[in-house]
Amino acid sequence: MERQKCTVVKVGGAVVEDEQQLQRLLRDFAAIEGRKVLVHGGGRKATNMAARLGVETTMVGGRRITDGPMLEVVTMVYGGLVNKNLVARLQANGVNAIGLTGADTNVMRSHKRPPKDGVDFGFVGDVDNTNGQTLKTLIEMGITPVMAPLTHDGQGNMLNTNADTIASETAKALAPYYEVTLIFSFEKKGVLANPNDDDSVIASISHDDFARYKADGTISGGMIPKVENALAAVDAGVEKVIRTLASAIDGQHGTVIK
């Protein structure tokens, strides 16, 4: 029996902030046939809200330090402001959606990341388990989950969790039940062979391709962990991972990692 398809789309905070891009993305997401899940970021909104509330934002290596006051901000912004606005906008686009943090229905549990190399990231979660059965139950009821980048530790604490990780863990948890395509929408057309040429999109990347591209420097810097995470998702049963523009989530463009 052929397995049903399910598409997991991750949208970054930059798109959430841009009304024109967001409108198009939600319209395109609504047009995706079959089962689907939306995962969102919202870091820029959190930084702006923190400034308005007098909470200082501290970043180390591009990652947010989440102390007690910042945890309150990201919980409000990610789990409330961004998540519920996306749910409302999806309803307006004919998608019956429900907003979830990891704490809701215990769908994603994490542990607090321990300090490393002298850096304590605070209330940041590294995912331990994801309840794919719960997500499947919602999806089979015709409900589209909208996942916020927040998890919990089972001890009553919310934890700030990387949105790319939420997307990967969601896709992996659904892989036993569906043929899952994971789409990361970002500001480029795909993984580029030449960072200075926006049209130099690498059409597909396998494990062997990645080893070669990494060795010759074609893929370097921050793109290395992104491709590694995509390949790890494929190894865990996800059919394919696509990195593409927010305006191209139909799955017909971008870099296919499989």
Average confidence (pLDDT) over 170-193 = 94
Residue-level pLDDT at 125 = 97
Task: Dump pLDDT digits (tens) for 186-199.
Answer: 888 899 998 889 89
Residue-level pLDDT at 16 = 86
Q: What is this structure's pTM?
A: 0.94
What value does the CA radius of gyration of the chain take, rounded to a whole number of Å? Answer: 18
Whether 189 and 201 have beta carbons less than 8 Å apart is answered as yes
- Go through the domains of the chain in sequence order and give each one's CATH number: 5-186 (3.40.1160.10)
CA–CA separation, 121 vs 137, rounded Å? 34
Residue-level pLDDT at 1 = 65
User: Which has the higher per-residue pLDDT, 127 or 13?
Assistant: 127
Residue-level pLDDT at 219 = 92
Task: Dump pLDDT digits (tens) for 54-71.
Answer: 999 999 887 899 999 999
Q: Tell me the CA distances in angstroms from 235 to 115, 126, 229, 232, one per residue in order.
A: 28, 19, 10, 5
pLDDT at 256 over 70: yes
CA–CA separation, 243 vs 254, rounded Å? 6
Task: Dump pLDDT digits (tens) for 32-49.
Answer: 999 999 999 998 999 999
pLDDT at 87 over 80: yes
Task: Band the pLDDT of 178: cuts 50, 70, 90.
Answer: very high
User: Which has the higher per-residue pLDDT, 15 or 29?
Assistant: 29
Q: Are strands 63-64 and 59-60 parallel, antiparallel or unpaired?
A: antiparallel
User: Which has the higher per-residue pLDDT, 139 or 60?
Assistant: 139
The pLDDT > 90 percentage for the chain reads 78
Average confidence (pLDDT) over 223-231 = 88
Residue-level pLDDT at 35 = 97
In 62-193, alpha helices (H): 68-76, 83-92, 132-140, 163-174
Residue-level pLDDT at 129 = 97
Task: Dump pLDDT digits (tens) for 155-166.
Answer: 999 999 999 999
